[in-house]
Structure 1
């Protein structure tokens, strides 16, 4: 059964939408982004989130101290490292907290697919100007032979998510701009894409 992550939540109405649609994961982006939230805002949003939905904290080259503080405060349930963090950083975090760690990798060619000490890899589209959130797909054929569990991100939406799942069989899909309208999360798109994926899992 493909897991579903809706990333980049920043408003209470976003939380209302996911509480209705019930994905497996949601994402709070703590890195600089138009979807960025700070710890206080994330705490308010997490308090309103259905407790069965896991909150993922998305970080880009941020301090280990900040990540540990948010983890220990119960604001996040999973850590996603979406920058240039190395295995040493991941090992340090694993020694400090017990949360699962997702390491994102931006894929332009096969050379970008690397091993990690994290619990999952997340494959996203390479964009020279940003670490994620480009809304563009990459060549899924580059990861088609990967057997272990991973998350697929990068330009997934209502029109292509079925094809993506059928082609690479990811453990989970990570969707952000694909469920937005005018840069804001769209309740109807969130509900529809989750219905599409859940029907595939039946």
Structure 2
């Protein structure tokens, strides 16, 4: 997770061919696919992930989002190169992460999501062995944010999620300066990804970063 000052952006919950066209036009850093999650309206099966991921611009990193899935599912997609990162959004523990690494010969890139309600959640995220972590509101699709003041105690880079949209994206970056932001329902209209909102979200992130670099001289390098 080394890189420059640039805040990254992930557009999650892609499920239609036109969604792929929208992100290829806007060029976020990451694209997320919710993989075989019962009850999720954004869920797609592994065959759909293969088709959709194959259409992504090479500059966009594909991420599979899993909720308490059998480890064979993310491991298989990682080993095939269908996804580059497995995002674990359920109750997966350190044993699960270790097993997933063993199943991929130690090559798996793993992100673990944490629902943030207290300092204890921030501490758990800080200690997690996953390559990346994501801080979320937890309820999913409510349009609400968690108490951002809790994230100020985070001692490692993180993805910020939960209730982010066009209206508060620049503010979130200004206040927290996360390593990356993650949007799903915030770039949708009537339950489907919205081309204009995706493009605007990416433009906001790029613009917010340029403003921050202008103020700081661009010397804030992240590790």
Q: TM-score, normalization: structure 2?
A: 0.86
**Which residue does 1:28 correspond to in 2?**
33
Q: Distance in 2 between matches of 1:9 and 1:20?
A: 14
- 4+ runs deviating over 2 angstroms: 132-135
User: In the alignment, is residue 73 of structure 1 matched against residue 80 of structure 2?
Assistant: yes
Unaligned runs of 5+ in 2: 1-5, 211-223
User: In the alignment, is residue 99 of structure 1 matched against residue 104 of structure 2?
Assistant: no
Matched ranges for 1:35-114 at <5 A: 35-97=42-104, 98-113=107-122, 114=124
**Which residue does 1:157 correspond to in 2?**
165
Q: Distance in 1 between matches of 2:142 and 2:81?
A: 29
Matched ranges for 1:151-190 at <5 A: 151-190=159-198
Unaligned runs of 5+ in 1: none
Q: Which has the larger radius of gyration?
A: 2
Q: Distance in 2 between matches of 1:92 and 1:112?
A: 23
What's the secondary structure of 1:144's corresponding residue?
A: helix
Q: Distance in 1 between matches of 2:44 and 2:141?
A: 15
What's the secondary structure of 1:34's corresponding residue?
A: coil
Offset at 1:148? 1.2
What's the secondary structure of 1:6's corresponding residue?
A: strand
**Which residue does 1:5 correspond to in 2?**
10
4-13 vs 143-152, which deviates more? 143-152
Tell me how large the CA RMSD over aligned residues is.
1.0
